[in-house]
Every structure is written in C-alpha cells, then in structure tokens.
Amino acid sequence: MKKPQAKTGKKNATSAKLTQLGRQAGIPASPDAAILETVANPNKGKHYTVRFTCPEFTCLCPITGQPDFAHIVIDYVPGSRIVESKSLKLYIASFRDHGSFHEDATISIASKIIKAAKPKWLRIGGFFNPRGGIPIDVFYQTGSPPKGVFIPDQGVNPYTGRK
C-alpha cells in the first residue's frame, strides 16, 4: 500500500523527521529512554483542546514491585507543535515495567509533554485504582487555559468502583 502524500503532493518535511510513526518501533526500556515526538501544528493560531485518554495505564510500585493501574486523561491546548500519538503510546507503555509512585508517574508524563510540545496549556488527571484500600487520584495543570477555549470535564468518576 502506498503511503499517503501531503496535500502538496510532496513528502511532508515534518513527517520525514519522525522516527516511530510508520516504522517498526518497540516499547522503550524506560520512560527516560522514550522519545516523545511532535509535529507542526496544522492549526497554529487557533485555540483548541486535544485529549489523550489512556484507560489501561500501568506502572509498578517502586517499593513492592506490585502493579498499579490507572486511567490517565491528558488535555492540552497546542502551541506550534502537537504530540505525535504513536510516540505517546510507546512512552506511556514504557511505564509498565517501571517503578514509579502515582504522583511521580503523572507529573512525569505532564513534564515530558510540556518539554516536547510546549503547549499553551496542559492538564492531566491520573485516576489510580486502589491499593491498600485507598485510591489515589493525581491532578496537575500548567495554569489557566487560554480564554474562550472549550475544556471538557475529564469524565472519570471519583472512585466508587469506577463504573
């Protein structure tokens, strides 16, 4: 199957720089080893929200090695770059064998996106399943969203069995 071409009929210079999209790429050995890629925002100058939902996030307790499970919701308003989703998927998957407290995992994800894409605004919610009878939800945002941009509710209920 022939790869789609950019609207101009020429190969998109931005996509030529991507190392994971359209190629074989395995899960990185650790979150630090993961490369989070971005592409030019095709709607630069417009305020809109991008949402990534990761309902099957896993990491390991750094003390016991027991698995932790979470539903991660990432909302951001792009600046000049947008996050390439395959690289994000591989980055998120790199946590599955990585020891990280809930708070650190959530903030690390936000920090990596901020460093790579430099969004105008970012919010992340880490909704972790209970361990030891206590669910831990972690929230972070970079400040107030740009005026007039639609920011939907994250849509994950506080823990009551999270139906």
- Catalytic position from the list 59, 68, 75, 153: 68
Domain range annotation of the chain? 42-148+157-163
pLDDT tens-digit series, residues 121-143: 999 999 999 988 889 999 999 99
Top pLDDT among 149 and 160 is at: 149
Amino acid 19: pLDDT: 66
- State the Cα–Cα distance between residues 153 and 126, nearest whole angstrom: 14
DSSP letters, 124-163, are: EEEEEPPBTTB--EEEEE-SSPPTT--------PPSSS--
The whole-model pTM stands at: 0.86
- Catalytic position from the list 59, 61, 75, 104: 61
pLDDT tens-digit series, residues 3-31: 544 444 444 545 558 766 767 878 889 99
pLDDT tens-digit series, residues 42-92: 999 899 999 999 999 999 999 999 999 999 999 999 999 999 999 999 999
Helix (H) or strand (E) segment spanning residue 104: helix 102-117
Helix (H) or strand (E) segment spanning residue 70: strand 67-77
Give the rounded distance of the alpha carbon of 32 from its chain centre: 14
Query: Are 51 and 71 in contact, with CB atoms under 8 Å apart?
Result: no
61 is catalytic: yes
- State the Cα–Cα distance between residues 158 and 135, nearest whole angstrom: 9
Matching CATH number, 42-148+157-163, of 3.40.50.1100, 3.10.450.50, 3.30.1130.10, 3.90.1150.10:
3.30.1130.10
- State the Cα–Cα distance between residues 107 and 138, nearest whole angstrom: 8
pLDDT tens-digit series, residues 94-108: 999 999 999 999 999
